[in-house]
Amino acid sequence: MSNTTKLAVATRDDKGKGAARRARREGKVPAVLYGHGTDPVHLHLPAREFAAVLRANGTNAVIDLDIEGKSQLALTKQVDVHPIRSYIEHVDLLVIKRGEKVTVEVTVAVEGDAAPGTLVVQDASVIEVEADALSIPEHIVVDVEGVAAGTAIHAGDVTLPEGVTLTSDPELLVVAVNEAPQAAADDEAEAEGDAAEAAE
């Protein structure tokens, strides 16, 4: 579940690519805070501390921002990462209030071993749910222990933590348990062998 982490941040007036590059050189991440009808607030986050928050809480991190002495709860809405150098380029933060429900995408983790001779295919890596802003699950587990070939697990079949409701399409395919290609080939070879024996 999401833990609230305090983070001291500063407002910024300078915008544009040049300003963003300067900020990153100084160990800061450009961010914008918006929501609840408020005007967007442009911020600088401390890069190292923010990266640690993401590592500890996942991409739906809830942060108690200290904006130059003023406290504001925020949900990490979008994190843009450089495709090659892997540093955080920009962050979108959403203003939230205690007790408020938010809609977020949560990672699906597949656990367990399906029945022998099967191949587990994960079709959806995330599903969208509604949860209390301070109780967002870090991930949602789909257990495939002993599941037989031919089983399809849809979003509506997934067990969600208490207080969390599904907002994705219930028919969204999350995991398919198929017959493993080798097992299918073995069955076919066995059938052909049986047919040959019968012919003899």
CATH number at residue 123: 2.170.120.20
Whether residues 27 and 92 fall in one domain: yes
User: 139, 143, 115: which is closest to 127 by C-alpha?
Assistant: 139
d(CA 112, CA 136): 23
CB 43 within 8 A of CB 10: yes
194 falls within a domain: no
- Residue 190, C-beta contacts closer than 8 angstroms, at least 6 positions apart: none
pLDDT tens digits, 130-155? 999 989 998 999 999 999 999 999 99
Distance of CA 41 to the CA centre of its chain: 25
CATH number at residue 21: 2.40.240.10
What pLDDT is stored for residue 189 in this prediction? Answer: 54
8 falls within a domain: yes
Whether residues 62 and 8 fall in one domain: yes
Q: Which of 97, 126, 155 is the last residue of a domain?
A: 97
d(CA 166, CA 124): 14
What pLDDT is stored for residue 1 in this prediction? Answer: 47
Q: Which of 53, 70, 97 is the last residue of a domain?
A: 97
Whether residues 122 and 158 fall in one domain: yes
Total number of domains in the chain: 2
d(CA 173, CA 181): 21
Whether residues 39 and 9 fall in one domain: yes
197 falls within a domain: no
d(CA 168, CA 183): 33
Given a cut of 70, the residues of the chain with pLDDT beneath it are 1-3, 16, 183-200
Residue 60's Cβ-count burial label (10 Å; 0-12, 13-18, 19+) is buried
Whether residues 91 and 155 fall in one domain: no
d(CA 144, CA 174): 12
Whether residues 130 and 171 fall in one domain: yes
- Residue 189, C-beta contacts closer than 8 angstroms, at least 6 positions apart: none
Residue 116's domain spans which residues? 103-185
34 phi/psi in degrees, rounded to 5: -150, 170
Whether residues 50 and 132 fall in one domain: no
User: 117, 127, 116, 114: which is closest to 170 by C-alpha?
Assistant: 127
Whether residues 93 and 114 fall in one domain: no
Whether residues 75 and 33 fall in one domain: yes
